[in-house]
Structures are given as C-alpha cells and as structure tokens.
Structure 1
Amino acid sequence: MKIPFYKAGILTCLTISFLYGHASAESDLSTKCGEIKPNVNPSFQQINCLLTNAAIEADIPPEVVKAVATQENGSWKQFDETGKTVESPDGGIGLMQLTDQRGYDQDKLRSDVVYNIEAGVGVLSSMYSRTDLPKINGAGRKVIENWYFAVMAYNGTKPVNSPLYQLTGERNTNAYQEEVFAKLEKHSYITDTELAKYPFKTTDFSYDRDLTDSIKFNRFIYTLTSPVHNSAYFFKVGNRVATTVDGVKLREEPGTSILKKLPKNTALIIDGEFTYDFTNQYVWYPVRTDDPKIKGYVSSAYVIKDMVKPVITGATNKSIPVKSTFNALTAVKAMDNVDGNRTNAIQVSGKVDTTKLGTYVLTYKVADRSMNTSTIIRRITVYDNLKPIISGVMNKTIRLNSSFNPKTSVTARDNINGNLTSKISIRGSVNTKKKGTYTLKYTVRDYSNNVTTVTRKITIDSTKPVIFGAKNKSIRYKSSFNPKTGVTAKDNLDGSLTKQIKVTGTVKTKKKGSYTLTYTVTDKSQNRTVVKRKITVK
C-alpha cells in the first residue's frame, strides 16, 4: 500500500488515535486464533482468523479486509522463508504492506503480524471515515460495496485508481480497488456472486492525468440499482439467512460429506458461531432449515442475510360503484423470495364504506419470517354511477285552450342525493291554444354528475269524436222512426257525447222515398264530426 506523503499529517492523527485506543493494548486476537510464534508465519487458518476478527472488531466486512490483504500480499505472509519481514520496494511493510505510517511503531509493524493486521485495519477504517470520499445512499459500514472508495484511498486516490478512464469513459479494471473487489468476488464468493456496480460518469471525477495530484470527487452520493451485499460475518445465532444459488451443499461438517443440496432462496437459521476453512477465505456456518431435523454446515460464500421484502401485488388503487360489494383482500397476494406465499400474513388497516361516496385509504402490511416488512397504501374511491330517476313524465293529450303546467306530478329522485325534483330543468314549450304535438325534454343531474334526460310529447287534442250507429237504413212505409235511436257518440277526452249529437234533415214515413240525415257532434276542443245517413222509406 502506497499512501501519499502529503496525507501523512491526517493519517498520523487518525492512526495514533487507533494506536492508543486499541492496537497499543495487548491484542486478544492471539487468544482467539491460537499461538503466534515470533518471525514465523501463522497458518492460513490462523491468518484467516486474525483478519476476520480484526475486521469484526473494527466493524468492517471481513470480506473487504481479506481482499485487501490478498491484493497487498497474495500469500498472506508477514515473513519470507528466512524469517525476514516482507517489504516492498516502495516501503510497504508486512502482510498489510503499510507505507509511511508514522503513527505506528515501525519495528512492531515488522515483527508483529497481529499488530501489522490491526494497523492495516485501522488505516482502512480511517479511510472510510473520511468525509471527502463518496458513499452509497443509505448504506452503512456492513455493506461491502460501500467500502469501494475507502479501499481506493488505502492505496491512494490518484489518477491511476480512477474508476473510469478519463478519455474513453471505460471502466478502469486495473484500478487498485477494482482488483481488490475482483479478488473479493473470487475468494469470498467463489465467483458465484457479482457485487453491485456504481453508475460512474467521467464528470464524477476531476484530475489531470499527466500529474500525480489526487483525484477531486464531484459526486459524493451514489444510488446503486443492483442489490448491495451485507457482510456474511455478522450473523447471530437465530438469524434467518437465504442461499444465493442453486445447489448449495449442506455438509455434515465443514468440507466433509454432503447431506443435501439446497435450492436458491432456501431459508436457513444460523445455529452457532462460524468456523474457519483450512484453505479458503470463507467460513462455515452451522445452520438448520425450518425442519429442525435438517441441519449441517454451509459456506458463508453462499448465504446472505434475508433482506428482501415480500412483494404485495393486486393492491392497486381502485374505483368502485356505490353500494357494491368490496373485499379488501380480493386478488391481493404477497410473495416472498424465501418464504414463498405470504398472502395469509397480510394485514389491512382502514375501512371502506361502500354506502358513502368518497376516497378511502387502506394500508396493506406484510412481513416475512425474517421480519422484512412491505407496506402499500391503497386508495379506494366509492363513486355514484346510478342516474337519477324522473317519474311522471308521460306523453299526454290535452284539450285546446286548457291549462297545462309541465312540472305537475313530475318528480326526480336519486339513490344518494334523494329528492332532486327542484333540480329538474325543462326544455321546450306547449301552446295550448294551438293544436299540434309539442316535445318537452326533462333533465336532472345528481351531485356525482350523473345525468338523466327524458323526452315527453304533449298533444293538443285534434282527435274528432266518433259517431256510432248512424248507418244507412230502410224502413217500412208508415212505420215509426226516431233518427237518434241506436246512435251514440264518444270522444277520446270527453267520453260520451251522445246527448250533444245534432241531427239535421227529416224523414217522412208516410211518403215513400230516400231521405238524408246529417249527424253532427263537437267535442270541447272544437273537433267536429259530421256523418251523413240515408234512410229509405219503402
């Protein structure tokens, strides 16, 4: 690791604070990880333990610390074959390749591998605490991707470590932090997991590629579109985790016979503290499934804390007619990536009164068994889709010159607004002094803007009365004859007008011949009917 000299003042303050807070005290890592002999490289398993515990104590994902150690010293060696401290040409000391760390005991950095590891972890932690380096929006220290720029700063925020090539905008896979994270994916995730990528733009950084001055960061908050990854080293007994790929091997003991192959997103419960592998950087967790009889060990490379919330579907905003039936859970489902169907666990708060118009708010909440909770707000609008009803608007025939009020006996009622008679509007008019048929349009609108229109025809009476029985007839000579006998008249409005029949003409029964009678009747609308009748005396 090459830290630029001009940063030495800042780093000295930071590292001295770490030195006197933790690293200067007698470390307990040796107790946890076994006896460490002077000038002798600990075993791989011991180094794994030292790196892991130093990272956990500093609240850093061990995956990150191990990847940095691998980048700095691929063989994880503090000493060479002769027992001499490994040092790089640029002054990097020991396993963590610390350079220009004046706040630390230089001799102890060379002689004490535990001290060297704790110092490297302290420097990395101080890089994370810098306020001039970008972070992921909402992410904390346990999110692996959130250490991207701290890892860069561990080596130096120089143009050579720019995430993108300034001229082309291509990703700089040769940057220190890019190589560290590639090693992290390879060793901690066995290349089965891809870490989330930052959406870099060349405008995020300013630097002169012809100089060695540090990069200036123009953007300090990033939002990643892909899921980020929490460290797998902070699980507690009882935590629920999920497998990340298909075919995860549940083993009887770390690295031993396979008990079962687990599909992706299998729920597992952490059943104890992790143990170290002899040759790999990952660790082994004792786990059990929801069936307590199925238990064993899985690699930390293939489990992740279940942080995925259940997905609620079908709870979309909706408009329903007033007085219709509504069930808040109809067609609403909840599915979880690990627990599967969680529909029965959905809780709904809020009520919908389908008898009253308005917009009602329902809150849907569901949690998976890892207590990841999803909440959806749903709005149900009860609307009135029924038109008012107009009654009493019937076609009608009235007499000439009679009085007529188009609103008489006409009413309007609405299912919600009740009596709307006063809201009726009428288009058209009726001239009762002139015969004919007139059209009236009655319209009423309720408060929900539902409109009813009814057409009515009013006819001024032009129908003539009808005379019955005035048929031609032959009678005997000198017989009796009454011209009104058997003759009647009826009107569509006035009813019987028989008494109003007028007869003109006479019949002489004592004189043979043909006689013509004229029957006339007039109704109150001045509609007149005239019928001619022939009477023959034989």
Structure 2
Amino acid sequence: MKSIKMRAGFLTCLMLLGCSNEEAFAESTLTSKCSSYGEIKPNQNPSFQHMNCLLTNAALAAKIPPEVVKAVASRENGGWKQFDENGQPVISKDKGIGLMQITNKPGYDQEKLKYDINYNIQAGVEILSSMYQRTDLPKIKETGPEVIENWYFPVMAYNGTKPVNSPLYQSSGLKNTEAYQEKVFTFIEKDSYINNTKLGQFPFNIGDFEYDTNSSGNIVFRKMEYTLTDQMHTSAYQFQVGDKVLITEDAVKLRSQPSTSSAAKSLAKNTTLIIDGNFLYDQSSTSINQFVWYPVKTEDKKLAGFISSAYITKKLDVPPVKVMWGKTELKLGQIGKVTILSNTNLVKMESNGSLTTVRTLKKGEEYRVYNYNSNHGGLYGVGGGNYVQKSTKVKYETPSKSKLALLAQ
C-alpha cells in the first residue's frame, strides 16, 4: 500500500489509551470469533480458512463488505501471508508490512504490524474505512457502504489517488485495467463470485479527472457523484435466517457439507432457496475458497444442504402488477368505470338528499366507480362521497373477468 499522510486527529486518537483499548477489544473479538481454528502460533501463518475468518469478521465489524477487504488483501499479498517461509514478517520493497501491506503509518505500533496478524488486519481495515469517510472522493448517488461498487474510490485511495490509478488513460480515454482498484475489483469477481458476476461499471469520462501524468501529485476529481445503470451488488454476508435467495447460474451444486468435495445435487438457475442458518467457512481448512457456505432449504423443504455464497442473490419481493383498464388502473373494490363523453358535473349528495355541483368533469376523462345509487335517475359513486349522474354524457362499463382475474393474482 502506498504511503498516505495521516490526519493529525487520527494520530492523536491512536496515541490515546482509549483508542488502544478499542484496538485490543477489536483484536480479541476477531480472535474469539475464529477460536474454532485454534490459537495463532508465533511467526506462523494461520490456515487459509482461519485467515478467511479473520478478514471476514474484521470487515463486518467495520461495516465494509468482506468481499472488498479480502480482495484488497489478495492484491496486497496474494497468498494471504503475514510471514515468509523463514517465519519472518513479509515486508515489500516499499516497506509495506504484513498481510495488509501497511506502509509508512507511524501511528501504529510497527512491531505489532509485523508480528501480530490480528493487529495488521485491524490496521488495514481501519485505513480502508477512513478512505470511505473522505469527502474529496466521488461516491455513487443514493447508495451507502453496503454497496460493493461504492468502494471503488476508497480502494483506490488505499493505494493512492495518483495518476497511475486513474480509471481512464488521459491520452486515449480507454479504461485503465492496470489501476490498483481495477485489480482489486477483478479479484472480487474472480474469488468472491467465481467469475459468475460482473460488478457495475462507472460511466467515466476523461474530464472527470484532472492530473499531470509527469507529476506525483494526486488526481483532482471533477465529478463527485455517479449514477450507475448497471446492477449494483451488496455483500453476500448479510443474509439472515428466513431470507429468500435465488440461484444465479444453472447446474449450481447444493452440497451435503460446506465443502466443494462433498456430495451434491444440481439446482437450476432462479431456484428459490431459504437461508436456514449463519454462514460457514469451508470445511477444509486448507481450501483456498474465499466464499462462504450458507445452510439452505428449498421452498418445498424437499431438499436441504449448503450453497456457495458466490451463486446466490437476494430474492426481491415482486411489486404488485398494475392492471390497466383504459387510462386508469383497476383497483380492488372497484365495480366499474365511467368515461366522460361530454362535459358533465361531479356532484355531491347533501344530507337532505339534494345534489350540489363539486366541479366540471371534462370530455375523455375516466373515473373508477365503487358503488351505485339509484336515486336521481342513477348515481355512480366515484369515491370521496362524490357521484357522476347516469346520463348520455357518460359511458359506464364493468371490468371483464380476465381483468378481475389479473387483479386477484
């Protein structure tokens, strides 16, 4: 990770005892949530799934999609290693330390960054979270940190908002696939979604970014808010018991155990499943799968097992279908409609039974009818105590059986 100057307030906070206590609490929480894997031994890397657990829980505690944190760790340190084969801390040429490659951060304990895996992860997550809080970075309109795509610019800033990370090449306007954040998002697609999902794309233009390719200065962002037309994605780690999810691919395997080596049955795309418990990590501690497994059952409860988070998406409630009848929508409780053939009055019945005019209804307008009153030669009740008098100036119709059937669905 490239060096980024820390704010004075943040440095001050880290030096205070209260912040140290918070860090200690965070580290102990990570350890307790992953205690089933045993203690982390000095100068030894935990198993891949143990590391998966540590990264996932650190991300969730910071309200960052775990997919993002894991991809940053993969980009910084492909093997998720804190120590090399000799048991020494992994330190890069630019002095990046450990799993999260923390670089030039004097506010953190440098020895703990080297030898304490939990501390190193916590530092990386804190830095990434602080990048999201920056007000000089663009965001996606009307979305929050739960949306993976909204971490595009904070991920860039984790490495540095330098010309090398510009989303577009200034000279050609082509996408810069070598940019740090593009590499991270490719890791998300490859490892968290098994290349099954494409993340939403930003509608970038060259004019959105101002920088000098021959300078080490930061990019100046000229556009601070984007609207994405592609589907955006929330984390697959937020499903709760009882949630309904859909299979996103054909022939996805429903496993008997949380492992790709267990027996399986194939499920078709768009099969509805019900989440039946909290997610689990791969049963094999040496597995390099970054996704997690959810216990699920089919809606008819005939099948149950474990499904990879890479192949499911939240099933959204289908909004009621509008049943249009001419110019108006057919509503429950409606018995018919009147079409105004020539201007006529909307009337109201007074307590003594007389009619008073409310306003004039114009030719061509349509109104729902909810009841019929036989007084005054016939009155069509159009709601709110108002009526349209039966006459040659109006046409009354009742809905067809097919329309009523659609409304009842």
Check whether TM > 0.5: yes
CA contact (8 A) 1:8 1:101 kept: no
How far residue 257 of structure 1 moved from its aligned partner, in angstroms, is: 3.7
Task: Select 1:280's aligned residue among 289, 293, 297.
Answer: 289
CA contact (8 A) 1:242 1:264 kept: yes
SS state of the match for residue 285, structure 1? Answer: strand
Alignment of 1:337-348 (within 5 A): 348=331
Could you tell me which residue of structure 2 aligns to residue 290 of structure 1?
299
- What are the Cα deviations for residues 398-449 of structure 1, in whole angstroms up to 9, with x where unaligned? xxxxxxxxxxxxxxxxx9667xxxxxxxxxxxxxxxxxxxxxxxxxxx799x
Alignment of 1:365-376 (within 5 A): none
Distance 1:308 1:196 in 2: 22
CA contact (8 A) 1:15 1:122 kept: no
2:133 paired with 1:129 = yes
- What are the Cα deviations for residues 321-374 of structure 1, in whole angstroms up to 9, with x where unaligned? xxxxxxx65xxxxxxxxxxxxxxxxxx46847634749xxxxxxxxxxxxxxxx
SS state of the match for residue 278, structure 2? Answer: coil
SS state of the match for residue 99, structure 2? Answer: coil
How far residue 142 of structure 1 moved from its aligned partner, in angstroms, is: 1.5
Could you tell me which residue of structure 2 aligns to residue 312 of structure 1?
321
Alignment of 1:483-494 (within 5 A): none
- What are the Cα deviations for residues 49-72 of structure 1, in whole angstroms up to 9, with x where unaligned? 000010011111101000000000
CA contact (8 A) 1:288 1:296 kept: yes
Q: Which structure's relative contact order is higher, taking Cα pairs within 8 Å and 6+ residues apart? A: 2
How far residue 315 of structure 1 moved from its aligned partner, in angstroms, is: 3.2
CA contact (8 A) 2:339 2:394 kept: no
Distance 2:316 2:221 in 1: 31
Task: Select 1:382's aligned residue among 366, 373, 383.
Answer: 366
SS state of the match for residue 187, structure 1? Answer: helix
Distance 1:57 1:74 in 2: 23
How far residue 211 of structure 1 moved from its aligned partner, in angstroms, is: 0.6
Alignment of 1:252-263 (within 5 A): 252-254=256-258, 255-263=260-268
Query: Structure 1 residues 315 and 119 mapped into 2: Cα distance closer, same or farther (>3 Å)?
Result: farther
Could you tell me which residue of structure 2 aligns to residue 459 of structure 1?
none
How far residue 223 of structure 1 moved from its aligned partner, in angstroms, is: 0.9
- Number of residues paired by the alignment? 343
How far residue 31 of structure 1 moved from its aligned partner, in angstroms, is: 2.1
Alignment-mate amino acid for residue 23 of structure 2: A
SS state of the match for residue 83, structure 1? Answer: coil
Distance 2:73 2:13 in 1: 20
Query: Structure 1 residues 141 and 159 mapped into 2: Cα distance closer, same or farther (>3 Å)?
Result: same
Task: Select 2:272's aligned residue among 260, 267, 272.
Answer: 267
Alignment of 1:108-507 (within 5 A): 108-254=112-258, 255-277=260-282, 278-307=287-316, 309-310=318-319, 312=321, 315=324, 318=327, 348=331, 351=334, 354-355=337-338, 357=340, 381-382=365-366
Distance 2:227 2:333 in 1: 34
Could you tell me which residue of structure 1 aligns to residue 371 of structure 2?
none
Distance 1:316 1:227 in 2: 32
Distance 1:243 1:112 in 2: 39
Distance 1:91 1:143 in 2: 32
Could you tell me which residue of structure 2 aligns to residue 12 of structure 1?
11
Task: Select 1:41's aligned residue among 33, 40, 45.
Answer: 45
Percent identity of equivalent pairs: 54
Distance 1:146 1:38 in 2: 37
Query: Structure 1 residues 317 and 128 mapped into 2: Cα distance closer, same or farther (>3 Å)?
Result: farther
Normalised by the length of structure 2, the TM-score is: 0.77
Query: Structure 1 residues 317 and 51 mapped into 2: Cα distance closer, same or farther (>3 Å)?
Result: farther
Query: Structure 1 residues 13 and 249 mapped into 2: Cα distance closer, same or farther (>3 Å)?
Result: farther
- What are the Cα deviations for residues 153-204 of structure 1, in whole angstroms up to 9, with x where unaligned? 0001111100001111100000000000001111111111111101111111
Could you tell me which residue of structure 2 aligns to residue 421 of structure 1?
none
Q: Which has the larger radius of gyration?
A: 1
Stretches of structure 2 lacking an aligned partner (at least 5 in a row): 344-363, 368-388, 396-409
SS state of the match for residue 56, structure 1? Answer: helix
Distance 2:67 2:189 in 1: 9
CA contact (8 A) 1:51 1:117 kept: yes
Distance 2:21 2:209 in 1: 35
CA contact (8 A) 2:338 2:394 kept: no
Distance 1:238 1:350 in 2: 33
CA RMSD of aligned residues (A): 2.7
Name the stretch that deviates more: 236-245 or 150-159. Answer: 236-245
Distance 1:218 1:308 in 2: 38
Query: Structure 1 residues 239 and 161 mapped into 2: Cα distance closer, same or farther (>3 Å)?
Result: same
Query: Structure 1 residues 309 and 417 mapped into 2: Cα distance closer, same or farther (>3 Å)?
Result: closer
Query: Structure 1 residues 290 and 417 mapped into 2: Cα distance closer, same or farther (>3 Å)?
Result: closer
SS state of the match for residue 312, structure 1? Answer: coil
Structure with more of its chain in helix, by fraction: 2
Distance 1:22 1:215 in 2: 34
CA contact (8 A) 2:89 2:98 kept: yes
Distance 1:293 1:218 in 2: 55
How far residue 219 of structure 1 moved from its aligned partner, in angstroms, is: 1.1
Normalised by the length of structure 1, the TM-score is: 0.59
